[in-house]
Amino acid sequence: MKISRIAAIAAVVAAAAAPATASAQTWTTWTSATPGIFNGVLNGSSVTFTGNYVGGNLSSGGTDYYNPSGAYTQGGLTSPNTGGNVGFIQFDSPVTGSLTFGSPVSNLYMALISVGQPGYGVTYTFDQAFTVLSNNNTSCAYWGCGSYTVAGNTLTGYEFSGTLQFAGTFNSLSVTTDPNENWHGMTVGADVTATPEPASLVLMGTGLAGIAGFATRRRNRAA
């Protein structure tokens, strides 16, 4: 057997055991709230919002403001209400706050609910760049359709509902909102990435060991 065939076998074994990367998102499970602090869990690690929020839903109950979900699912995104998760943090006055993650988060997502009103803009300004992935321009959300503009790291919503993405890896994210409004809200999520199954790890180890043994036998015969 030639070296090229050994390499081919190694590639097949590695592919069989490689983790599958899912395009789906998982969203924060908000578990508790005290004045000035909202706590949750994302991908098994803590998420804490610190700032002047006014209310919101813990993930276990409340009105589902993500329904209808079309404003959040364009491009194959996962809706924040998947699995009955209705959690969000609610604001009404100008906010200065921050999200802190217990473990670094890659490809951070943010779902926004009812930012601004027709003819009355409300801004969200972040300390990181973002992209609008999904919106309610044509797929109306709980409070109807809306629009938005983006300038630098600031989104201005006119009854905007949708999903933003912050590309990169983050330990924290700062946000400010302005001006007053009846209310609007947000939650955060991240990509779901699968890990290798135990059986796949065994397959990879066994396959690579066999390749190493074969190569050793070839060297012994050539000596």
What backbone torsions phi and psi does residue 131 show, to the nearest 5 degrees? -130, 140
Average pLDDT, the chain: 84
Residues 6+ apart with CB under 8 A from 11: none
SS3 of 40, please? Answer: strand
Determine the pLDDT at residue 192.
86
Question: Is the pLDDT reported for residue 210 higher than 70?
Answer: no
Higher-pLDDT residue of 218, 124: 124
Segment 142-191, tens digit of pLDDT:
999 999 999 999 999 999 999 999 999 999 999 999 999 999 999 999 99
Nearest to 129 by CA among 163, 160, 153: 153
pLDDT above 70 covers what percent of the chain?
76
- For residue range 64-110, what is the model confidence (pLDDT) as tens digits? 999 999 999 999 999 999 999 999 999 999 999 999 999 999 999 99
pLDDT at 17: 39
User: Rounded to an integer, what distance in angstroms lies between the CA atom of residue 100 and that of residue 46?
Assistant: 8
